Structure 1
Amino acid sequence: MGLETMPSADSASSAGTPPKPAARSSGDSTRKAFYKLIFVALVCRLLLMPVEAFFFSPNSPHVHPENGLCTSSPACIFSRTLPDLMFASAFSLLVLFYAQLAGTASGGGPRGLSLILTRRGLFEMSNAVVYTIYCFLLFFTGIVPIVPYPVFQAVIWSMLAFIYLLLLATLSYFGPVLMMLLKPSLERRSALAFRLVTMCVICAIVFLSRTVTFGLAVWKADIQYTHGVVSNLAIPEEGAYDSMFGRDALGYSLTELLPSLAILLMMHQPRKGP
């Protein structure tokens, strides 16, 4: 099956016939929504990185001298995990896009799991539930100290690990389906098909790495694993602020910034010539 049925404006330039207006509008709106969400997530991470580096510096009074955990202020985990949630929200929109794409490309419109995931309002409702739980835990840990900090920390990490695992499982289901549907286009070396597959692979790598690192953080009760691949490879010896900030910048560049830029490049709609 060709790409003309794909819910993306890009398909008009790579197939013989233009896509249906409704499908094209849906694909364009999804892409624009992802642009906004990923921009907000990147800005949030940029603004909170100095705060995070301050709280988690080994010389900080908020950090336990032996295990390196920040046990006196929920702002420690807030500065680290709020951007994580925002990135998860943005990437979940891509997974819904793939579900919509697979359902539309198979003919007859979304059905089954694809229909459930692309139901109007599901994305907003799911995010509302996640952020409500997050704010609830933060309130009863930092403002009304009922929930112990270690419990708050473990629940947040567990929630993030579960979200990324769910995204990985969903993508693992729709990714192969979409690749089978795109097989004729891949054989013709279609640029659009190549970009869609590349985006799928990048998302899978991001979801797997975040699932593993947050899972290890819960299992080991160690904040260092949430740095991703830079967890224990570049721990500052003297706890200098600039070293802490540099480690975080490197870790987040590898796990968030570079994948996001690559996906944005893949999603970019080339300008048509005059």
Structure 2
Amino acid sequence: MTHPAPPRDPRLTPARPDLADVALRGLVEAASYVEGVPHRVSAPSAPLRRAPSSDSGIDTEAVMGDAVSVYEVKDGFAYVQLRHDGYVGYLPADALGRAEPEPTHRVRALRTFLYPAPDLKRPNRGHLGLGAAMSAEGQEGEYLRLESGLYVFAPHCEPIAWREPDFAVTAERLVGTPYLWGGRTSLGLDCSGLVQLALELAGLPCPRDADQQERALGQPLPPGDLGSLRRGDLVFWRGHVGLMLDGERLIHANGHHMAVAVEPLAVAVARIREKSYGPVTSLRRLTPSAGS
């Protein structure tokens, strides 16, 4: 007996009734199939929306240096797939630039400014957040000269291969960051955005949303065994995720505090069970020595 294929996740499937990725020919029905054109995000950050309208909700964010495949540009929006996590949606077309050159550096500071010259007294041209990537052509004094012609303070950056292996350290640095639905920058984060940013800076691929992370990350721990948790473990609810800092404290971006906050796990479990997402659904451990 043959079984029908499971439905494709629309968040990760570049397909509409009128247009789809050529790689999906024969798998999904569409009026036409096109090959994605490589680009990179050239704006400091850009909202990825589920519809080509500024009134549409934000599903996630792309940041400078993110690689994307572009399938269509129309009326100021680009229909794209983000390469790092596969998310599909609409970015502002003016947030995109050439795919080359590839990034050489990544921002390590929570935030840093872009300048028109290697001079801190010049009016800044915007900022980059933690994890943003850019291509540097050289260095003048304490500033990297970017391919765009702008400058960024070099000590705020690291070579692109830099990693923070203890992903809980990255999460702790973001305490107090405001909660933002769909956010994944140091200006605003949601629960899964916090986890994704922390893991990606540790060099660990990570899906975007909490339900995807629950299915894909690490190994399951005995359900309900909250006493066995340690630094780096993930705690999932239906639609929410947090990261353990030790055996008792949870860090998570949440709507109760409207910020990234640290609190006793027992307090969070009781409140979330009663007021929002219900009981804990699973516990996951990424590596045997995470954070050690």
Structure 2-normalised TM-score? 0.23
Structure 1-normalised TM-score? 0.24
State the structure with bigger RCO (CA 8 A, min sep 6), 1 or 2: 1
